Amino acid sequence: MQHHLVSKQIYYRIFLALMVLTALTVGVAFLNLGPLNALVALVIAAGKATLVVLFFMHVRSSNRLIWLCVAAGIFWFLILLTFLLADYLSRGWLPVTGW
Amino acid sequence: MAHRRCTLTEHSSALAHHFDSLEQQYASANLGMWLFLLTEIMFFGGLFAGYTVYRTFYPDAFIAGSHHLDITLGGINTVVLLASSLTMALAVHAAQSGQRQQLVNFLLLTIVCGLLFLGIKAVEYSHKFADHLVPGKHFVFEGPLAGQVQLFFSFYFGMTGMHAVHMVIGIGLLGILTLQAWRGQLSPTYAAPVEMLGLYWHFVDIVWIFLFPLLYLLGRH
């Protein structure tokens, strides 16, 4: 069958971008940005993951069903995180004994 | 469509009889692999969620623990793993374009990178054992944060350990595929095994992309 062949050049460029972002995340970690440090680290990691998913995993050229899978994975993980933190972070807000 | 019969010209040995076409067969494999990866997201997601809760509770202990991780070895391992993802992508490219020798070479390179990663990880683990930073009876950490730092190291070993298990499985599967490629059992019409293992390998890479900053790079300034 005919695949959507991705040019090798694109793989090399994505790898280069991943290297730059890795250097960036290490560099930024040594700067004092206060609470922003964690946010910047996560944004860079999310950026790297996006490059891998779109290009190395070919989602960019995949059909909508695969896009839906990826979106569902992210969405369900965010549900897990949101509800868990909504529970733990709100404990102690109300004066209920035994918490 | 169910009653359609394959003619000799459209039937290929790569096409399983319950599929209409190679395109449909590929789409099924691709969807199945992605559904598997969704379960993997939830599996690692639980670990990441637990990490998030405890890091929110004990930020100072997580920073103290993180300072005992080797940023150089962790950084080198990040580069090694990203390089293995590149060679894996190139292996998929070689499989899709029917370049057998290149396919074998890139699969072998991916295995070498994977083994290098595990080797460096083993060195890091041995340092933690020597420094009494492995959670349990022999854990030693000075100061009031000892218990919470032990929790950080539980996450460190749990998450990097599960990641390493996935690497070991991936390397085993790569070995089988290399053998198949070497025997000439893979072709542009039957490249799906390489493509699906590629998805798995890149997923494991993504897990590490998040693990590296979350474990190694806390409070370094």
| DSSP collapsed to 3 states, B7-52 | CCCCCCCCCCCCCCCHHHHHHHHHHHHHHHHHHHHHHHHHHHHHHH
A58 with A70, same domain: the answer is: no
Residue B87 resides in a domain: yes
Q: Which of chain A's residues have a Cβ under 8 Å away from the Cβ of B67?
A: none
Residue B11 lies in a domain: no
What would the two tokens of residue A94 be? 């109300």
Considering the domain architecture, whether residues A47 and A95 belong to the same structural domain is answered as no
Read off the pLDDT of residues A10-58 as tens digits, 9 standing for 90 and up. Answer: 999 999 999 999 999 999 999 999 889 999 999 999 999 999 999 999 9
Contact list in A for residue B34 (CB cut-off 8 A) is 66, 69-70
Q: Is the pLDDT of residue B147 over 50?
A: yes
Record: contact A12-B78, CB cut-off 8 A: no
CA atoms within 13 A on the CB side of A50: 8
Separation CA B29–CA B52 (nearest Å): 34
What are the chain A neighbours of B57 within 8 Å (beta carbons)? Answer: 88
Residues of the domain holding B29: 24-216
Q: Is the same domain home to A52 and A67? A: no
* A45 and A5 belong to one structural domain: yes
Closest CA of chain A from B14, distance in Å: 10
**What ipTM was assigned to the predicted interfaces of this complex?**
0.92
Mutate to test the interface with A, among B25, B76, B209, B212 (most CBs of A within 10 A): B209
Task: Name the domain count of chain A.
Answer: 2
**pLDDT tens digits for B28-79?**
999 999 999 999 999 999 999 999 999 999 999 999 999 999 999 999 999 9
Inter-axis angle of helices A8-29 and B71-96, nearest 10: 170
Q: Kindly state whether residue B10 falls inside one of the protein's structural domains.
A: no
- Chain B residue numbers with beta carbons less than 8 Å from the beta carbon of A80 are 42, 45-46, 49
Q: Are residues A94 and A84 in the same domain?
A: yes
Q: Find residue B190's DSSP bridge partners.
A: B187
- Total count of domains within chain B: 1
Residue B70 is assigned to a structural domain of this protein: yes
Check residue A99 and give its pLDDT. Answer: 58
User: Which residue blocks in B69-191 are alpha helix, DSSP H?
Assistant: 71-96, 100-130, 146-182
Q: Identify whether residues A13 and A48 lie together within a single domain.
A: yes
Of the candidates B21, B217, B221, which has its C-beta nearest A25's C-beta?
B217
Domain-embedded: residue B5: no
Tokens encoding B54:
């405890």
